[in-house]
Amino acid sequence: AGRLAGFFRELGVRLPLLLDISVRMLKEVASLPIPRLQGDAHRLPLRDGTVGLVYCFSAFPHFEGKEEVIRECGRVLRPGGLLVILHGCGREEINRFHSAQSEVIAGDHLPPLEYFRRWGEQAGMIPERLEDSREKFLVCYRKPLSR
């Protein structure tokens, strides 16, 4: 719901953009003075190499094609750009929570970090930080300056 958009703006992130597949979620943040775009993370409506930071907060388990989303984020990142996937608790807790919910999200799980390492490398990105603790689940990739 755009909770971190203001934070990124304060950090000096130029022209932060909120992207969500849900029009309803985008309407919830209509008061924020930040551009919003409805779109699917599997097919981002952005040009190749135009984004410096892709930040995915507490959404990654809900993507059907997780590897596809990582490739797509790599496509839109400019050289040196970052993809950050963050959750406020660890993988086990997230998966346990989702399993106890309705069947709509009961299977929306985070895979082990080794999957993320492999997916990032296959997408041509450098996995800089991969952490899974009780406090957070963090994956940070950097797109190389050159290939």
The string of pLDDT tens digits covering residues 40-71 is 999 999 999 999 889 888 889 999 999 999 99
Does the pLDDT at position 6 exceed 80?
no
Helix 66-76 vs helix 113-122: angle between axes, to the nearest 10 degrees? 40
The string of pLDDT tens digits covering residues 25-46 is 878 877 777 778 888 999 999 9
Q: Per-residue confidence at 5, pLDDT binned at 50, 70, 90?
A: low
H/E stretch holding 27 reads: helix 23-28
The string of pLDDT tens digits covering residues 67-85 is 999 999 999 999 999 999 9
How far is Cα 127 from Cα 73, in angstroms, rounded to an integer?
Answer: 13
Q: Per-residue confidence at 91, pLDDT binned at 50, 70, 90?
A: very high
Contacts of 48 (CB under 8 A, 6+ apart): 75, 76
pLDDT for the residue numbered 58:
85
